[in-house]
Amino acid sequence: MGLGPRGLAGLAPAALEAVAAAGAVFADDYTTRLPEGTVPFLEDLRHGPIERLGRERLESGEEILRAASAEAGAVLLVGGDPMAATTHISLRVEAVRRSLPVRLVFAPSIVHMAFSEAGLQHYKAGRTVSLPYPEPRFTPTSPYEHAAANRAAGLHTLVLLDLRADAGRFMTAAEGAGLLDDYARSAGGAPFGDPALAVAVARAGEDSCARAAGTLARLKGMDLGLPMHCLILPGRLHEEERAALQVLCGARDDELPP
């Protein structure tokens, strides 16, 4: 069951009924941050606990599958689109292999909301990339290379930012912009444009959504508040997209490509 950005305000009555009737309810505490206050409300609704699952337990899936095999079934709460992550697809496939029926309750995906918030055209989106926290002996360059390839093709790149939900750590747009800026400088040339333009979107779909467009150098100094954040590296811009980045996101004339 997908939980949209507005949390309880976006849940349909049928979704609430499914949670109340399920034999067990689990919450994905690994792939994203669930809307504030949603889990406690749903626990009160069903008069029972909702088990939060971190990476290891979620990827195993055994607890969910055992509960799903019981007569009353089980619900897994997921932030955004319930099938956006490979973890959830694998769980669905295994359930069907075990002859367990699966029903999907959809919610808006960040893949769509981010472009809508920024005023950029969806059909010009290229491959989405995930930007991990730097770690010793783990410095993958593939996210940067895929983003550069998108831009060379004139396509926009959605950059999903790393999180450590169990530790309460969520990469900010400023941190992500800093990593991208560092890579652009070390790679030489202009893999993300010259100047390197980006759009930061914080809390997409929520009433408190914040947007900012500008150079990576400027964005890495901005504080957009509470999570979740993401970045977009624009490709070739239509005239209306240029206007959207200026009016909706505060881009400066000298930050936009000619």
Residue-wise pLDDT tens digits, 182-234: 999 888 778 998 889 999 999 999 889 999 999 999 999 999 999 999 999 99
Query: What pTM value is reported for the model?
Result: 0.90
Q: Which CATH class is domain 2-97?
A: alpha beta
Q: Is the pLDDT of residue 236 over 90?
A: yes
The pLDDT value given to residue 33:
84
- Give me the pLDDT at residue 74, please: 97
Spatial CA neighbour of 234 closest among 220, 222, 244, 221: 244
Residue 19 binned pLDDT confidence (cut-offs 50, 70, 90): very high
Residue 34: its pLDDT value, please?
84
Interaxial angle between packed helices 13-21 and 38-46, expressed in degrees from 0 to 180 and rounded to the nearest 10: 60
Asked if 28 contacts 53 with a C-beta cutoff of 8 angstroms, the reply is yes
Domain ranges of the chain: 2-97, 110-255
pLDDT for residue 119 is more than 80: yes
Q: What does the pLDDT look like over 28-62, one tens digit per residue?
A: 988 888 887 889 999 999 999 999 999 999 999 99
pLDDT over 80 (residue 7): no
> Residue 10 pLDDT > 80, yes or no?
no
Q: What does pLDDT average to over the chain?
A: 93
pLDDT of residue 238: 96
Cα(94)–Cα(86) distance, integer angstroms? 12
pLDDT in tens, 131-180: 999 888 887 899 999 999 999 999 999 999 999 887 889 999 999 999 99
**Can you give the pLDDT at residue 9?**
76
Helix 173-187 crosses helix 142-152 at what angle (to 10 degrees)? 80
Taken as a whole, the chain contains a residue count of: 258
Asked if pLDDT for residue 80 goes beyond 80, the answer is: yes
Q: Does domain 110-255 have CATH number 3.20.20.100?
A: no
Bond before 171 cis per omega within 30 degrees:
no
CB contact at 8 A, 227 and 35: no
Asked if pLDDT for residue 22 goes beyond 90, the answer is: yes
d(CA 160, CA 229): 8
Q: Are 81 and 107 a contacting pair, CB within 8 Å?
A: yes
Within the chain, residue ranges assigned H as helices are 13-21, 38-46, 55-60, 62-68, 86-97, 110-118, 142-152, 173-187, 216-219, 239-247
